[in-house]
Structure 1
Amino acid sequence: MKFSYKIGLCSLAAFVLVALSNISHAAGMVPESTVVLVNVADGEGTMNVTNSDDKAMLLYTSLENLPEDQDSLLVVSPPVARVEAGEKQLVRFIVQSEQPITTQRLKRVTFEGIPQADPAAKAKIGVTVRQNLPVLISPGDLPKKQDPWTLLEWSLNGRDLAVKNDSRYVVRLNQAFSVMPADLKLELPASYILPGQTHHFELPAGTTLGADAKVRIYPATTYGFTTPPFDAPLKKQ
């Protein structure tokens, strides 16, 4: 699938705005931020979740692993909690790993509010709202970096375009990207590149790129907000 620069950037911006709108206005359980940050040196991360409904609800919190990373590194406490109307619940994400965590790791968390059953009420269909957010786990010795996408290595060998994340940071970005100035449209398999990952893309036959070729990407911050496009250098092998 191909995207223009305007569509690619706007789609990511729209996604973030919709996510923020859901967090701000959805009835039910509302997390205080768009991402859960866990520092291994602290042993845990936390998130306050508010019950914006006018009735008490049960808050269910569950973690999800990425297809590329199935290691279970965190324990949620509490996994289930009763939260009164308008009240907050502090959810802890406790680090529990058998091996040292040396790079950033990415997980997902779902917060779901379920109304408690009222035996006196007539049977009716209830609607629950889920909030699914990224969980970013960082080693204690890893310095904060606002632009980890600058560490990506892009290379071209014949028709094989490759991107390698040889850093310790998770890079979040729009899946759509372009090879400039040819304006060749390509797409990443996911909206993130994990530490140690390499992705390959086969360019169309007959593609000719000059010495000034660069890769234009559309990064996102830790909190999922869009940034200006970034033109990464393309190394020819």
Structure 2
Amino acid sequence: MRQFYYFLITLLVPGLSIAAGMLPETSIVLLYEEAGDTAILLENTDKQPLLLYSKIKNLPEDGSEEPLVMLTPSVVRVEAGVKQQVRFALRLKEPSQVQRLKRVIFEGIPLRQQDDRNIVDISVRQNLPLLIHPRGLPKNSEPWKLLKWSLSKGQLSVENDSPYVVRMAEVVNLQPQGTAVQLERSYVLPGQTLSFPVTDAVADAVRLYPATMYGYSVDSYDAPLTAKAS
């Protein structure tokens, strides 16, 4: 489908060049507090040099603008077919007790010669999660099982009182009816409680569709409801 989409755009816009962009080696940047730093490789899959712009973006619901992580280089020229390393260094003032989630943006800006003015370039942006794992916190491959779900007075609530970031699909289904409930986002941060309006008066469980730390979907999981609507 993506190849067809690119082909269609090329037909509609003469002289359009679709940039392949900077391809990261993994779907997430993991930064362990014990290590203090980490790195990721990105490959320029385009046929021309690109300027790689990299920046870290805080989540609005995180409630902190503190620069926990510094990256280098923030801007660098990358030749066609060449891999570029971007390093991340932790800048915690105090040890963290919970996982922290941020986003890292990688954008490859095409470089064109002055005589290529009739060619339109499109930059390709990669938006990856950046997960900071605290020192001494055990790894948990199924953190979604720690979420607490409740249903009361037309509201479905999920509480994450664990130290783990939980990733899952943005839709859950109430059981046994199968009613779909749209969530606000595809993750629940440590300490968060989220609530959503529902139409079903009675349900026994909520079926969620978890994702691993790397964003890969796994088997659905039916979580019990700690409270039922009357």
Whether the TM-score (by the shorter chain) exceeds 0.5 is yes
The alignment's C-alpha RMSD in Å is: 2.0
Query: Using a 3 Å threshold, how does the CA distance of structure 1 residues 114 and 165 change in structure 2: closer, same or farther?
Result: same
1:214 is matched with 205
1:45 is matched with 38
The Cα of 1:182 is off from its aligned counterpart by 2.4
Matched, 1:156 2:151: yes
Matched, 1:236 2:197: no
Whether the aligned pair in 1 keeps the contact of 2:175 and 2:205 (CA below 8 Å) is yes
Query: Using a 3 Å threshold, how does the CA distance of structure 1 residues 80 and 34 change in structure 2: closer, same or farther?
Result: same
SS in 2 for 1:68: helix
Q: Scaled by the length of structure 1, what TM-score is found?
A: 0.82
What residue identity is the alignment partner of 1:30? Answer: L
> Comparing both structures, which one devotes a greater share of its residues to strand?
2
What residue identity is the alignment partner of 1:81? Answer: V
The Cα of 1:158 is off from its aligned counterpart by 4.1
Equivalent residue in structure 2 for 1:87, among 78, 82, 90: 82
Whether the aligned pair in 1 keeps the contact of 2:150 and 2:156 (CA below 8 Å) is yes
Matched, 1:100 2:95: yes
What residue identity is the alignment partner of 2:35? Answer: D
What residue identity is the alignment partner of 1:226? Answer: S
The Cα of 1:100 is off from its aligned counterpart by 2.5
- Distance in structure 1 (CA, Å) of the matches to 2:191 and 2:162: 7
Structure 1 consecutive aligned stretches of length 4 or more whose deviation exceeds 4 Å: none
Whether the aligned pair in 1 keeps the contact of 2:95 and 2:135 (CA below 8 Å) is no
How many residues are treated as equivalent by the alignment?
A: 209
2:27 is matched with 34
Query: Using a 3 Å threshold, how does the CA distance of structure 1 residues 202 and 130 change in structure 2: closer, same or farther?
Result: closer
* Residues 125-174 of structure 1 deviation map (CA, whole Å, 9 limit, x = unaligned): 32211111111111121111111100001123443332100101000001
2:162 is matched with 167
- Distance in structure 1 (CA, Å) of the matches to 2:117 and 2:198: 58
- Distance in structure 1 (CA, Å) of the matches to 2:132 and 2:217: 21
What residue identity is the alignment partner of 1:233? Answer: P
Matched, 1:199 2:199: no
Query: Using a 3 Å threshold, how does the CA distance of structure 1 residues 127 and 156 change in structure 2: closer, same or farther?
Result: closer
Identical pairs, percent: 45
Equivalent residue in structure 2 for 1:63, among 56, 62, 65: 56
What residue identity is the alignment partner of 1:131? Answer: Q
- Distance in structure 2 (CA, Å) of the matches to 1:203 and 1:129: 38
What residue identity is the alignment partner of 1:46? Answer: A
- Distance in structure 1 (CA, Å) of the matches to 2:46 and 2:178: 48
Unaligned runs of 5+ in 1: 1-13, 15-25
What residue identity is the alignment partner of 1:221? Answer: T
